[in-house]
Structure 1
């Protein structure tokens, strides 16, 4: 591409997708959002983006979109993401994630799409043999969610070799927070992500936070994760797209995390600090498919994309999540007291 041509963002009405769309628009990329609104919200689609309601697995629709909007790159974020749900309903995940992604890749190949940026996951590593986890470490998912994403990575690698496009798979670690400017955040009422749940509890939308497992082989017995601010993740997508365009002969697989892990208890302590009051905690059983520790080795993404995190502070991530939750409360516009954090 000689100029910034339109980019298709699937699931651009969702939590991560809306932030990615905002970051692309901020960087001067025209954005077309495709979302079926099964879990997304049209209110999260940036006003500057073109919105199409539909299914990423609808090859005819997608093909028309490519032609009508002159799309030359895809940022594919659509899919189901709840680990425990994938264990209970594996075929649903293979259908929604893997099969629909296959249809999207086929449509991209048929249209001569040049660049494909894919939202993958640290769940492809399963229970890692060591931490931090490098991109060259073994991939051995322990749940259908991770397996479905790994299958998509394999499809992209094979299709790119056969059809001459390049791709980048960003393996997300635990995404949290909200847009620092307050333009987007997580709206779902059935959240499973710890910081979102804890922020809801801190503003009175939940009575407590359940700690799923206190017997993991970690320093305090709770699971450890590498939490990345959604704004930094969105910025990584912009850098990855720029690299795909600048280096069309190379495809990449990159971890997207900070390289620092926090336990569930450490996260809840942060929420207590930022909120100024303790959040009630209750012990619960482990969730199916959850590994004890996931922490990124992020040296490759730092070196290859020149990506520099701006919001890599746990209390800051929590503060932005809390600020978003407070904006969602009735009468928030008039009554909310903004949180201030020194970055």
Structure 2
């Protein structure tokens, strides 16, 4: 198997080891040597201590992201203690979730298949696509890390959606091209397709509506929650910022960047508990308040359902826009496989639904 750096994809230079779950977080959430279950391979459980869940990385790549990790620890503690955070801090926190999501995807895939050859890596996905984060608080003080959704075959096909439990907080994270751009009022493709490598081929762009349209995202969202949305179009494009008028004002007010290489919006924050709904003013400090806290077991089940449902939606959207030509026999196999892995998620969603209904009947 080719050795590659999980950040850049090249042969590791001055080989280092990257902790997908950082060491500071492992210590923050309990016994650093504890063992966790990371799925199954050929029917056998895959168990690791978080400290040993490491993969090759270039020393420079690891060091560069290590500078971000140092800041994330402070940001996470602020969120946990409901202290004021800045727009830039939460923007960095969303970068970190991108890193964890893709790192878990790479890690799981490498554990399952030693011949795995990914077509993108962590650096390719950090702050490169539309993304959202929902934050929930539990009503206990239990410590630990929990990862939801990264061991499913659907996630291995499209690593767009997962959730992470950190002590008594749950973060639901979803990132995909053009997931939010249209409903956040920014440029979006009228027509686009995917090739066999899941690369996007855009046929036509629309300039944008310059207004927020609700619901911002399709599908079920558990409330109440802190909702963070951000539109990102990264890569060379020919879109021009509006010269004047409403479009110019909207982009100037609500964009961090608008140039030939990236269009990145400010974070759109929706939080019923502090009654704030809008693009986050860059210099404004905001406290996330968790007035309503959830019972762990019930919220866990609901988050699993929500994560798997959005994973299925993401994969179905990709399959519906898949434009690769296949022979009849190949297409039959292709369709059968994807139907089976989607059904695995649906089966789990149904099982949880049944348990939750029985629970409510009992109480």
- TM-score with structure 2 setting the length: 0.26
- Comparing both structures, which one devotes a greater share of its residues to strand? 2
Rg bigger for which structure?
2
- TM-score with structure 1 setting the length: 0.27
